[in-house]
Structure 1
Amino acid sequence: MTVLNTPDFLTVPAAASTPRASDGLRLKRRDPTGADGFVDGGWWPHSLDLSVELPQLLAELSSAGHDVAQVIYNPTAWKPAPRTLAAAGRSVTLAPSTGQDAASISLVDRAGSKRTDLVVVPPRTDLRVAERVLALAGLGGDLRRAVGIIERANSGTQTPLGDAVPLDPLSAAAWETDGGRGLTG
């Protein structure tokens, strides 16, 4: 496993209880009517076992009108998974691809015309960092890819003018959705 092995600076202490998939879905989706970005939201699974984690995610997406037929994931980032999975009342194909960014998964609809890309927050990530990743992944118009969003959540990033962007997700979201800082002259 590579990217989803949580770096030490993201990890909660080993003594902390390990959540289970039944503890609730941790998903933040970008408003589809908002500006485009490279990701459509963020997902914070409780483990690296797709056969345990995907059914709840797929059920939620199905209830929101997404007819997912295929999940593309990087096999180096997850535990071994079956080729198909029964979820949301149908069979879904799990498609391992080393070309897939290890910090994301892609969900493709039955027609093959709609693709949803989610940033995957490593399961043992510190709560504060994970919440920032999910908040950033849900912003419309963010042109960062999955790894860039995770990196931005971990440390203050520099704006084009060189000063740090606040890491508080609500302040950052309000600042970003309000047009951000305009460049002058």
Structure 2
Amino acid sequence: MPTADDAPALHPSRVLIAGVTGAGKTTLARRIAAVWGLRHVEIDGLFHGPDWTPRREFLDDVRTFAAEDRWVTEWQYTSKGTDEILAPRAQMVLWLDYPYRVVRSRLVRRTVSRQVLRTELWNGNRERGLLNIFNRNAEDNILLWQTKTLHKWAERMPEIEARFPHLTIVRFGHPRETERWLRALSG
């Protein structure tokens, strides 16, 4: 697996950003899109319809953009079938494998900010995070969801490497590594 120091030499056309909720996948995807001139497709915007209802067209929309030549997106909704669509087409995975304290503080900051500012997200939806922090259902409580899925990518990466050997997987263990890598890309 390449390190953060190796990756700047690569110039892929189709990139997946993996990591737990709150790691910074969308932020990194936007930055990668700008540096490499890729189209950023925010996968949450394809999945969530009004009132947080999953869109029936989701997988068709994923297939459509995955067939394009140049894109970057967050690797999410794997249980909904995105692995079989995105992984065969992608060339690189940037894996944000940050410590718990980093991802938890990022998620809390993001959730509170979106809730307080009433930020519109996708298709008219707004953050429900503060209202749901006492909900015991991980599907509805973003903090519980993060805890439940914290080690998902570490558990899955060996299988992903075996199933999709064409993918270059670059693991970042801390935001400092990611920032150093991004500076090398721009420099």
User: Shorter-chain TM-score: which interval?
Assistant: under 0.3
More helix by share: 2
After TM superposition, the score normalised by the length of structure 2 is 0.26
Q: Higher relative contact order by CA 8 Å / sep ≥ 6: 1 or 2?
A: 2
TM-score, normalised to structure 1, is: 0.27
Higher strand share: 1
